[in-house]
Amino acid sequence: MLEAVGALLLEAGYDGLTVDAVAERAGVHRTTVYRRWRDVGGLLADVLDAAADDTWSPPDTGTLEDDLTALCQEAYDALAAGATLTTALIAVSFRSPEAAAALSRFWADRYDRCAVVVERAVARGELPADTDARAVLVTATAPVYHELLLLRAAPDPALPRRAARAAAAAARAGTQLLSAGGR
């Protein structure tokens, strides 16, 4: 069922995503779909919640800059391909409050899992102990989403490394910048 939703979303967008279409694609009776989900927003929220229920964990390369670069590269690859499921889900989040809430939960979970990247850098002595992990992670990844998703700039393969380097440098510059005290 959830695969059917993803496939339809990618092909036809939110406008093509009806309970009937999902039922047909998944090969089940429409009443089965209606019994479980009242509408498309709830269905999408479940798709996202299911996607979060995985074993994904951030890379461990041995340095902050390389860990951040790998995270930025993953986001870059998901967005630079054009009409991807990621882009489709973000587009839908502007139309369905349930999908928006589910996407927020999904991202909050991912940023929580990535905090270990900053904790390891602190343990290695790369960063001050009071570094704000989320602020570092958002500083690194936000430019990738901003350039590709909002500004719709031409994909620049140097972007993931550049964004990661800038965030790592800002974090190393210390407690007045991306620390809990700076919040």
Question: Is residue 139 part of the contact set for a copy of itself (CB under 8 A)?
Answer: yes
Q: Residue 118 carries which side chain, given as an amino acid letter? A: V
When the beta carbons of 50 and 149 are compared against a copy of itself, the nearer one is 149
* 174-180 contacts, C-beta under 8 A, 24 or more apart: 174/128, 175/128, 175/130, 178/131, 178/132, 178/135, 178/136, 178/139, 179/128, 179/130, 179/131, 179/132, 179/135, 180/130, 180/131, 180/132
- 79, 73 Cβ separation under 8 angstroms: no
Contact call for residue 57 and a copy of itself (CB under 8 A): no
- Minimum CB separation of residue 127 from a copy of itself in Å reads 13
The piece of 24-32, 35-43, 85-93, 114-122 that touches a copy of itself (CB under 8 A) is: 85-93
23 lies in the binding site for a copy of itself (CB under 8 A): no
Interacting residues toward a copy of itself by CB under 8 A: 13, 87, 90-91, 93-95, 100-101, 103-104, 107-108, 111, 135, 138-139, 141-143, 145-147, 149-153, 156, 158, 162-163, 165-167, 169-171, 173, 176-178, 182-183
